[in-house]
Structure 1
Amino acid sequence: MTLMTEHPTISGGGPDSFEELLDILDELNLRDGFKAEIYRGNILVSPWSKGYYHRVMEQVCEQLRPHLPSDHSLTTGPFLFVFPGDECAYAPDIHVAHKRVFETDSNRLDGEGLSFVAELTSPSTRNDDLTDKVTVYGRAGVPVYLLLDMQEEQATVFWTPSAKGYVSHCTKPFGEKLHIPEPFDCTLDTTGFEAPRSS
């Protein structure tokens, strides 16, 4: 098994299956300030977000909430969504899913039940957010994936999921407005998504 952190490190052994990786994830006793996800057969441990990410996530949620599809829930809670076909398990920063997705006593939620995900990149996860997650979320049929590239200060929305990922996308620099497609059909104002400037 490979444990990847801000600077990837290898930890010996190797589970035989995705289910075994999920079991290991359940048993991990992470230090405060870290979360774990499964990427391409590896467990990735990454630090929690920077403080100002909370402001950005709140702004996204406030703008999306009035446009939620019926019986859907929007949250930033630490939930693990599994994608068995791709052997991945992600904990998106922001997610929307039908309320029935949460009616389970399992901590492994159905990734195909998502209607929206948003990821705020960090140096340790940015490459996966820009590549693998685009493919996995698209193949799972998630209608909208919003990628907030906190390092480049730009927002990309992906829509029209397909077997190869997403067919359509649009990128705007922070500070501009971005259309969020169906089932939301609203405008996201990215003003103020930038990092605080030191004086």
Structure 2
Amino acid sequence: MERPTPIGAPPSGEFENLLRTVEELATPDGYKAELIRGKIVVSPWSELRCMKPMKLLRRQLGAHAPDGHAPDTAPFLFSFAHSERAFGPDLHVSDEAAFDADGRHADGEALSLVAELTSVSTKDADWQDKLEAYGRQVPVYLILDMQSEEIAAFWDPSPQGYRSHTTVTFGKPLHVPAPFDFDLDTSGFAAESAEPAE
């Protein structure tokens, strides 16, 4: 399974029933289940080459996160009832108090930032469906386009989606807007060069 795979959903099609099914789904090791466009989609977790950028990103975000918020890459599901979606972001910064509750998913309201690292199989969802849902609620969304070696920042959510965005090539600093408000060092995000050392 290299590509995201939609699976059967309850005939009722109701968001809460679908969300419950996602929560109870026993996915194979290395895979996650999300609720995208009314379908349960199972896709692999990030590729190995994403570990270094995620680690660098997590470290920098942690130093600038809002009080009570912490970055993590653990496979937690966040629901967006207004969009009838539920995503397991590659990296998220969220209110730690949201994890004091029972249950298998947290409300998307707990998020202050989400970052997705694209793969060939997930790129469309990251740039379209997730951008649309996050853009109504999450203060900052970062897309690390691993194929183009660029990072995009989206901010200022509204009912119609994000009002502002910018994109830089890996290696250039990216300003991460409030509530973080710092310049992100992206110099370690690009894939290692295959050229031999001199």
Measured after TM superposition, the shift of residue 22 of structure 1 is 1.4
Of 17, 21, 31 in structure 2, the residue corresponding to residue 34 of structure 1 is 31
SS at match of 1:38: strand
Distance 1:8 1:80, change over 3 A: closer
Q: Which has the higher strand share?
A: 1
Q: Is the 8 A contact 1:52 1:196 kept in 2?
A: no
Q: Is the 8 A contact 1:75 1:94 kept in 2?
A: yes
> Any stretches of 5+ residues in structure 1 without a counterpart?
none
Partner of 1:61: 58
Q: Is the 8 A contact 1:153 1:173 kept in 2?
A: yes
Partner of 2:144: 148
Of 40, 46, 49 in structure 2, the residue corresponding to residue 49 of structure 1 is 46
Which amino acid counterpart does residue 192 of structure 1 have in structure 2? G
Of 117, 120, 142 in structure 1, the residue corresponding to residue 117 of structure 2 is 120
Measured after TM superposition, the shift of residue 27 of structure 1 is 2.6
Aligned ranges 1:162-181 → 2 under 5 Å: 162-181=158-177
Identity of aligned residues (%): 48
Aligned mates of 2:45, 2:76 — CA distance in 1: 14
TM-score, length-scaled by structure 1: 0.91
Which amino acid counterpart does residue 180 of structure 1 have in structure 2? V
Measured after TM superposition, the shift of residue 187 of structure 1 is 0.7
Measured after TM superposition, the shift of residue 5 of structure 1 is 6.5
Determine if the alignment matches structure 1 residue 190 to structure 2 residue 150. no
Aligned mates of 1:26, 1:168 — CA distance in 2: 33
Partner of 2:93: 96
Aligned mates of 1:71, 1:195 — CA distance in 2: 33
SS at match of 1:162: coil
Of 16, 19, 24 in structure 2, the residue corresponding to residue 19 of structure 1 is 16
Q: Is the 8 A contact 2:113 2:140 kept in 1?
A: yes
SS at match of 1:82: strand
Aligned mates of 2:87, 2:41 — CA distance in 1: 10
Give the aligned CA root-mean-square deviation in angstroms. Answer: 1.9
Measured after TM superposition, the shift of residue 198 of structure 1 is 4.1
Of 129, 134, 152 in structure 2, the residue corresponding to residue 132 of structure 1 is 129
Q: Is the 8 A contact 1:5 1:44 kept in 2?
A: no
Distance 1:18 1:175, change over 3 A: same
Aligned mates of 2:129, 2:53 — CA distance in 1: 23
SS at match of 2:157: strand
Of 182-191 and 131-140, more deviation after overlay is shown by 131-140
Measured after TM superposition, the shift of residue 16 of structure 1 is 2.2
Aligned mates of 1:85, 1:58 — CA distance in 2: 31
> Any stretches of 5+ residues in structure 2 without a counterpart?
none
Aligned mates of 1:22, 1:5 — CA distance in 2: 23
